[in-house]
Structure 1
Amino acid sequence: MTQIVVQKSQRRMFLLHNQEVLKAYDIGLGFSPEGHKQVEGDGRTPEGMYFIDRRNPNSNYHLSIGISYPNPADRAFAETLGKSPGGDIFIHGRPWKDRKGGRDWTAGCIAVTDREMEDIYAMVRNGTPIVITP
């Protein structure tokens, strides 16, 4: 089984087949990287079990693959706060306009280099599980 594992504290993402690491990447996260994404605009990257659910070959961020955030629990929690959970969380490249930003510059997405994103886009299919740990 192919899966993606993201270790936020280590700023690393791994593509695995069963338990074998096929590729490892240094990553950037949301501009407020500590903690699980809870509401729109908090700048956090989600934590938990999700799936790759869409692909965008025409992304403003080179290429992108979508993460299935928010799940029902994420929506329910945000609703208790009277807020939107946000959405449009992707793994994507880094456009020229964002080249000089710090390591954690996204609104909650996971960023890699454009060249790495080309490899990831080719290797990862919709339905692939992604586990994002603190």
Structure 2
Amino acid sequence: MLGGLSAAVLSGCANKPQTYNGPEATRLRLYKSQRMLVLDGVSEPLRTYPVGLGFAPTGHKQFEGDGRTPEGSYLIDRRNPESLFHLSIGISYPNEADKTFAAAQGKSPGSDIFIHGGPRPGIDPTNVRDRTAGCIAVTDSQIEEIYAMVRDGTPIDIYA
């Protein structure tokens, strides 16, 4: 029993990206109200995933710490194989409009919005469905697929 538990914990740390040789993911669409992420190919959707959102899942992210997931058009702009949440890919929030709005209110727009897997060992997994502070959460196996299928520069449209 203990050997199986050790193997499960160690496999959780083995977050090496998968390889993918299928059709290119050309766009991502997130439907927040449906908690659904769609990876589109050139002519049809390639994959659909259920997601968890920030602890305040409705409304557009405006300020650092508001717990909201952004809405609008962004890009996948970075990847983090050493994320605290298994693998993660970054979203280009905040854009210029987000920065301008927050600055006019005298606040920070926040940053570091990612699509990520579950927490690594030692991270508190409280509130599994909406466990993020504005990110988009999927399972570890799902982020491994997404990480392999999506390239930096891929557009992501986030709808209410």
* Equivalent residue, structure 1, for 2:45: 21
The separation in 1 between residues aligned to 2:106 and 2:126, in whole angstroms, is: 35
* Equivalent residue, structure 2, for 1:114: 140
Indicate which of 129, 141, 145 corresponds to 1:103. Answer: 129
- 1:17-96 to 2 correspondences below 5 Å: 17-95=41-119, 96=121
Which shifted more, 11-20 or 116-125? 11-20
> What is the TM-score when the length of structure 2 is the normalising length?
0.81
Q: Does the CA-based 8 Å contact 2:89-2:147 persist in structure 1? A: yes
Give the gaps of 5 or more residues in structure 2.
1-24
Q: Does the CA-based 8 Å contact 2:61-2:70 persist in structure 1? A: yes
**Could you say which structure has the larger radius of gyration?**
2
Q: Which has the higher strand share?
A: 1
- Per the alignment, in what secondary structure is the counterpart of residue 10 of structure 1? coil
Superposed CA deviations along residues 50-104 of structure 1, whole A, max 9, x for unmatched, are: 0000010000100000000000000000001000000000000011534441411
- Per the alignment, in what secondary structure is the counterpart of residue 9 of structure 1? coil
Which shifted more, 15-24 or 70-79? 15-24
- Structural RMSD (CA): 1.2
The separation in 1 between residues aligned to 2:103 and 2:82, in whole angstroms, is: 32
* Equivalent residue, structure 1, for 2:155: 129
The separation in 1 between residues aligned to 2:56 and 2:106, in whole angstroms, is: 21
- Per the alignment, in what secondary structure is the counterpart of residue 133 of structure 2? coil
- Per the alignment, in what secondary structure is the counterpart of residue 82 of structure 1? coil
- Per the alignment, in what secondary structure is the counterpart of residue 54 of structure 1? strand
> What is the TM-score when the length of structure 1 is the normalising length?
0.96
Tell me the matched-pair count. 134
Give the gaps of 5 or more residues in structure 1.
none
Which shifted more, 102-111 or 22-31? 102-111
